[in-house]
Amino acid sequence: VGISLPTIEVRFQNLKIEADCYVGDRALPSLPNAARNLFESLLSSVGINLTKKTKLNILKDVSGMVKPSRMTLLLGPPSSGKTTLLLALAGKLDSSLKAEGEITYNGHKLNEFEPRKTSAYISQYDVHVGEMTVKETFDFAARCQGVGSKIELLAELARREKQAGIFPEADVDLFMKGTAIEGYESSLVTYYIIRILGLDMCRDTYVGDAMRKGISGGQKKRVTTGEMLVGPAKTLFMDEISTGLDSSTTFQIVRCLQQIVHYTESTILMSLLQPAPETFDLFDDIILLSEGHIVYQGPRENVLEFFESCGFRLPERKGTPDFLQEVTSRKDQEQYWADRSKPYRYIPVSEFVERFKSFHVGENLNNELSVPYDKNQSHKAALVFKKYLVPKRELLKASWDKEWLLIKRNSPIYIFKTVQFIILSSTIMTVFFRSRMHTRNEQDGLTYIGTLAFSLLLNMFNGLAEIALTIIRLPVIFKQRDLLFHPPWAYTLPTFLLRVPISLLESSLWMAIEIPGVPKMPEKYNPATWMLEVSSTVVESRLQIDFAEHFKSSTLHQRNKDLVRDLSTPPLGAEDLHFVTQYSQSTWGQFKSCIWKMWWSYWRNPDYNLVRNIFTLAASLMIGITFWKIGEKRESSNNLTTIVGALYAGVFFVGMNNCQTAQPVVASERTVFYRERAAGMYSTFPYAMAQVLVEIPYVFVETICFTFIVYPMVSFDWTAPKVLWFFFISFCSFLYFTYYGLMTVSITPNEQTAAVLAVLFYGLFNFFSGFFIPRPRIPKWWVWYYWICPIAWSVYGYIVSQYHDAENTIKVPGMSYDPAMNSYIKDYYGFRLDFMGPIATVLVTFCVIFALIYALCLRILNFQVR
């Protein structure tokens, strides 16, 4: 009926992209480099530039176009600039890169419309929510992206068909109308994309992650592609989508995309690293990148002709894609030299670029680029000028449904949180097991205040469990934000509102408590691809043949059985295969290898070690400023309570941060550990001990920072024994918190559950620390927990080490005389003043126990369900 579909022609002219970066050892992500980068960034913000970076040219004055209705393949060796070009064309280039030149869609510059909605960049990295199924992932993507201009086109189509008296085919008409419906939880487009991507068998399977069983890596790659195909974008920039896929699956996906391009007049630029020859033949145009230059751009049929004109020829048994990626390489170029009348000489990339300009394909390209695109020819529905095509209300509803689904899927975690809250509530209830507490003096009042303060602190601990859940989802949130699936508030609002009932429940608890029919393999066809295609379930169903049964009845199967039987029979005089040890290295050798690996892993992980040191620095300064020179004030019991609070706050907040930051690092390392242990590389104990020991120097540095900031600012006595005891207690406290973080990960299946478990003991550790309620006031049926509480021993050690010799008198409200400070500490807190030896032993014991439990759980428990 004469309707022209919206098409987009993408042009880029004189595009230059460069980056300022460090080179050599300065580029390594080590702790000194990270600290130096941070320092230089701070100086740069105030106008002092000490940064010495090298300019790296990624793309060097490239020009070209990506045409509609034609499949374009982007080829090039690694580091040639493929991903940068795709990101630039999709309008997603990082702001730290410097870009020059012009990129247009149908003659419109990128700032004249919304490129992130007009086109879609499909990353080579698979970032998904592991708890959602394939269909749910596609449904959410479809709901957020909408149907674009399909409704208007369908209305115009129906109007013209009616005018022309045309009655469309019922099935086709139904399909077109079904794909134009939006606002529902599921759509026909979802089922259609699932079918063409071959994901029918795993439609209702969880996507999964490193620890949760889900779909395979190849299927996950298809989900990444399908997420954008369910949307209305008809301009796709696809970055190495074949990673992890076999050649047959890649061929099938590219063939489906080829049909979409040709039938819907879409625009696709796809980067593939090493496509099979049959996949390569599906493309219409080729863009060959090398060293930041475009060596060739034009029809696929002419690419070999161009290189033959340069003196290079494709060998008989070499695939064209491999030839194109190697012919510009200094190392591989010589083997393709075909002009035997001349001696070979290396032809640099710059010379290929100049020769292409004089090649007839290059001349045609330059002529096309010299004629500006007529904006008036652009279809009004081709470009998108709004950030979001779906009404905000629908985006909010989609995010609400997704968040509610994830809460249901993670219900065991929330149930566990509720149970641990019940345990804590019951514990506190039994500690204050009386209908009315005494109000005789200020000490009784402090008990009231301690209870209320702990209630607030417990709510904070409970919120910490949400950190792990949120961190796990951050990559997906950032990806969907960048793809303009929904505005950030559409994610934040449901997350906030759906946590309110959970918080109300917790508050209430706290308050109350060769085969016939198979075609012959074509000539020059990849045998592996052919076998995968002809042995698929679809072919089996069509031919009514079970390939497995057919193989069992073949002579080849019988020969294989005979061979296995012969190889299973040992020759005369042979001994059983036997190894003295299970591992190739001794336990000491395994330990040395593991400690070497852990050392460099930690050294090059500033996100973990630098961040916790910065937190320690900030926390130390905050404690020092808040409790400035409080150590000099020894006039009353209130001063002593403030000092206990300062020491308690220091050990707890820095220690808790160590635990929280260690959990994600150990969780990610555990996945690698499972794989390497299964491969027989080392046993559990050397690995665990390496992980435990490598933490010591970093905690040691952290303790130095804490001690020499807090100690002088709080103004404790500058005597060698007191300073050393303060350092020792701080070191052991931070270390057992770190090992506690390692332990919680080792006894739980994932980082989220570990965070929830840690919160349970945060509450118990704090309540029985001796700060909120001193030991003599704890009921006898709970005083046992005081003696196994690590923080209680830390506070015990701090106070005794600093004030065992404090004989000055202090004022105590409600007492008729002024007792000596050390005597009051002994009577009120129940601290023995000569107990430093046992305290030191217990603190070291906590470190050892947590480390051993970590090693034991790693050995016994395996939560990897794959």
Which helix (DSSP H) or strand (DSSP E) does residue 99 occupy? strand 98-105
Give the model confidence (pLDDT) of 239-288 as tens digits: 888 877 778 778 888 888 898 888 888 899 999 888 888 889 999 999 99
Tokens of 7: 């098409």
Distances (CA, A) of 776 to 123, 771, 826: 62, 12, 10
Q: What is the CA radius of gyration of the chain?
A: 34
Band of residue 440 on the pLDDT scale cut at 50, 70, 90: low
Residue 284: its pLDDT value, please? 93
> What are the φ/ψ torsions at residue 633 (nearest 5 degrees)?
-90, 110
Give the model confidence (pLDDT) of 463-480 as tens digits: 777 777 788 888 888 888
Q: Strands across the sheet with 119-122, in order?
A: 119-122, 235-239, 267-271, 71-75, 285-290, 293-299
| Number of neighbouring beta carbons within 10 Å of residue 382 | 22
Picking from 805, 848, 846, the residue whose alpha carbon sits closest to that of residue 825 is: 805
Picking from 129, 139, 220, the residue whose alpha carbon sits closest to that of residue 469 is: 129
> What's the CA gap between 769 and 645, in Å, rounded?
11
Q: What is the mean pLDDT of residues 327-342?
A: 84
Does 727 score more than 90 pLDDT? yes
> What's the CA gap between 756 and 119, in Å, rounded?
41
Give the model confidence (pLDDT) of 482-493 as tens digits: 888 888 888 888
Give the model confidence (pLDDT) of 764-821 as tens digits: 777 788 777 788 888 888 888 889 889 999 989 988 888 888 788 888 776 777 788 8
Q: How many CA atoms lie within 13 A of 775 on its CB side?
A: 20
Residue 163: its pLDDT value, please? 79
Lowest mean pLDDT across 222-236, 720-734, 812-826: 812-826
Residue 435: its pLDDT value, please? 43
Does 183 score more than 60 pLDDT? yes
Band of residue 729 on the pLDDT scale cut at 50, 70, 90: very high
Q: What is the mean pLDDT of residues 422-430?
A: 73
Picking from 820, 805, 624, the residue whose alpha carbon sits closest to that of residue 717 is: 805
Q: What percent of the chain has pLDDT over 90?
A: 21
> What's the CA gap between 200 and 96, in Å, rounded?
42
Q: What is the mean pLDDT of residues 496-524?
A: 67
Q: What is the mean pLDDT of residues 698-727?
A: 91
> What are the φ/ψ torsions at residue 619 (nearest 5 degrees)?
-65, -40
774 in Cβ contact with 724 (< 8 Å): no
Q: What is the DSSP string of 183-203?
A: SSSS-HHHHHHHHHTT-GGGT
Distances (CA, A) of 430 to 435, 445, 513, 762: 11, 19, 10, 18
**H helices of 335-441, where?**
349-358, 360-370, 392-409, 411-431
> What's the CA gap between 235 and 11, in Å, rounded?
13
Q: What is the mean pLDDT of residues 574-585?
A: 74
- 635-671 in b/e form (b: 16+ CB < 10 A) is eebebbebbbbbbbbbbbbbbbbbbbbbbbbbbebbe
Determine how β-strand 267-271 pairs with β-strand 235-239. parallel
Helix axes 442-482, 488-512, angle to 10 degrees: 150
Distances (CA, A) of 308 to 151, 274, 302, 323, 661: 50, 21, 10, 12, 58
Q: What is the mean pLDDT of residues 219-226?
A: 86
Q: Give me the residue label for tokens 């819907």.
A: 264
CATH T-level fold of 10-147+182-377: Rossmann fold (3.40.50)
Looking at the whole model, is its pTM more than 0.75? no
Residue 77: its pLDDT value, please? 87
Residue 105: its pLDDT value, please? 92
- 228-267 in b/e form (b: 16+ CB < 10 A) is bbbbbbbbbbbbbbbbbbebbbbbbbbebbbebbeeebbb
Does 528 score more than 50 pLDDT? yes
DSSP state of 266: -
Q: What is the DSSP string of 672-730?
A: HHHHHHHTTS--HHHHHHHHHHHHHHHHHHHHHHHHHHHHHHHT----HHHHHHHHHHH
Give the model confidence (pLDDT) of 636-672 as tens digits: 888 888 888 888 888 888 998 899 889 888 888 888 8
- How many residues in the chain? 866
244 in Cβ contact with 217 (< 8 Å): yes
Does 1 score more than 70 pLDDT? no
Residue 784: its pLDDT value, please? 87
Band of residue 424 on the pLDDT scale cut at 50, 70, 90: confident
> What's the CA gap between 556 and 564, in Å, rounded?
12
Picking from 182, 108, 140, 193, the residue whose alpha carbon sits closest to that of residue 384 is: 108
Does 516 score more than 60 pLDDT? no
Mean pLDDT of the chain: 84
Domain spans, the chain: 10-147+182-377, 411-512, 514-557, 610-860
